[in-house]
A = this chain, B = another copy of it.
Amino acid sequence: MTEDGRLLRGERTRTAVLDRALPLATTAGLDGLSLGQLADTLGISKSGLFAHWRSKEALQLAVIDHARQQWTDEVIRPGMAAPRGVRRLWAVHDRRLSFYESVRLPGGCFFANANFEYNARPGVIRDRLAAELTDWMTFLTRLATDAIDVGDLRPGTDAAGLAYETESLGVCAVMQAPVLGPVTFRHARHALHEHLRVLATDPTILTELT
């Protein structure tokens, strides 16, 4: 956008629209996202959106890409800065919780909301969301496997199971926090910490983590 706030054309307009669409889709739902409302809050006309995306569905898919990009930049990449092994697994878990604990996004996690919304609605969007979830679980499993490989966790540890538990604790903390309060984040941290302590070859590794 220009210095006076007006939108420029082309790519910059597109990212500006997606920046605005993501929080709207997070709170109102990816399907409940209203193109009219989106255009109004951007100060552009509804029909102008169709110059950039051929349909609402195309825009929704772009929102998903945008959300993944943001998630990668703000959560995964910083978490990956931690040393390999169980420290990195913990860093990703902790970053995710911190991200939502500091109320960065109203409406909770976009991907969790969208997955729930489209669980029973076949179509292109559901397939895309399913692929994102599969990728994410593969990533978590790889973190767990690495923690086993470097010797932080006992050989024979169920990497996929550990990834599943990490994901469950994280998602539910974000989901239930608006109702049950920030205690859910403490529970999510404590539960995984306890479990890792049981699985660790040297429990003292865990004591130095938050």
Tell me the A residues contacting B by CB distance below 8 Å. Answer: 26-29, 31-32, 106-108, 112-113, 115-117, 119-121, 129-130, 133-134, 137, 158, 160-161, 164-165, 167-169, 171-173, 175-176, 178-180, 183-184, 187-188, 190-191, 194-195, 198
Residue of B nearest to A180 (CB): B137
Q: With A and B bound together, what is the CA distance between A32 and B108 in angstroms?
A: 20
Given contacts A27-B121, A32-B31, A121-B27, are A187 and B175 in contact (CB under 8 A)?
no
Q: Which of B28, B120, B198 contacts A106 (CB 8 A)?
A: B120
Q: With A and B bound together, what is the CA distance between A130 and B108 in angstroms?
A: 15
Given contacts A29-B29, A180-B137, are A119 and B175 in contact (CB under 8 A)?
yes
B130, A119: Cβ atoms under 8 Å? Answer: no
Copy number in the complex reads 2
B178, A172: Cβ atoms under 8 Å? Answer: no
Shortest distance from the beta carbon of A149 to any chain B beta carbon, whole Å? 21
A187, B160: Cβ atoms under 8 Å? Answer: yes
Residue of B nearest to A23 (CB): B120
Q: With A and B bound together, what is the CA distance between A160 and B186 in angstroms?
A: 11
Given contacts A133-B180, A161-B187, A179-B130, are A117 and B119 in contact (CB under 8 A)?
no
Residue of B nearest to A131 (CB): B179
Q: Which of B107, B116, B121 contacts A120 (CB 8 A)?
A: B107
Contacts of A198 in B (CB 8 A): 194, 198
Shortest distance from the beta carbon of A178 to any chain B beta carbon, whole Å? 5
B168, A120: Cβ atoms under 8 Å? Answer: no
Contacts of A108 in B (CB 8 A): 116, 119-120
Contacts of A130 in B (CB 8 A): 178-179
Q: With A and B bound together, what is the CA distance between A105 and B19 in angstroms?
A: 36
Contacts of A195 in B (CB 8 A): 191, 194-195
Contacts of A119 in B (CB 8 A): 107-108, 113, 175, 178
Q: With A and B bound together, what is the CA distance between A158 and B188 in angstroms?
A: 13
- Residue among A26, A28, A107, A120 facing the most chain B CB atoms (10 A cut-off): A120
